[in-house]
Structure 1
Amino acid sequence: MRKIILFVLMYLPIVVYSTEVVFEGIPLKKIETNENSSNTSLLTKSQSSEYRVTIIKEGENYYWASRGNVQLVPIQSGFYITFLAVTGAGYVRTLTPEARNLFKQMPKEEQEKQFLYFEHLVNQMGSITYYGR
């Protein structure tokens, strides 16, 4: 029996996936909306750190690491990539890596006027959207 197990272990393909961070963003603005109201607020540094968004890639799969490792499906269109949660919980839209490199070449004053991403979360019968860089 021991020889059979050893044989199987030797010839089973071993798949090791490395984890790659494909996007990290720091939110600056939060918009909460429900059927009765909408509220926009600028985040403090502490809140920005708390609500940071992280997307990772393991093998061929993408995950919303900052939201419980929900699996994401990337959809690219032009200069944008939308990472859509398979659970329907929300999505993150950001610039492609090439577009982000162009953004980084812009003068700082211009960068500060724009956002690099937004993260949209469905929250019961409302939503929360974060905008950031």
Structure 2
Amino acid sequence: MTQTSLDDVLVALDRFVARIDAYDPAAKPLGAVEVAVPGQAARLSLSAPVARALVAALDGYHDPRDQGPCEHCGGRRLDHNFLCLDCQRPNGVFGALLAERAAAYSGDPAALLGPPEGGASR
């Protein structure tokens, strides 16, 4: 994931407003948003079309880390293995299957990891 600075946010918001305003340059201002970073501030005028587009963009954003809610505690922090980071329980059918298989496994846990790096298999 690339690092985003507050300057990047200002530039992106300014470009967003300019792109939407280009379709209706005569639209009256609905309000304004002020964004400030150390040593720099920007006041962006929001027309109704820009405000609608901004709301739609923010509501439509899906964080790629969002795996959905936990069916046990309702938390929103499921890892890529569907383990809830809040209640520590596996989530969904896949999570239940993994937990069931792990509970039934009685062998050497190291065998699940495969051969050591750079070495031969055991």
TM exceeds 0.5? Answer: no
Q: Which has the higher strand share?
A: 1
Compare relative contact order (CA 8 Å, sep 6+) and give the higher one, 1 or 2: 1
- Between structures 1 and 2, the one with greater helix share: 2
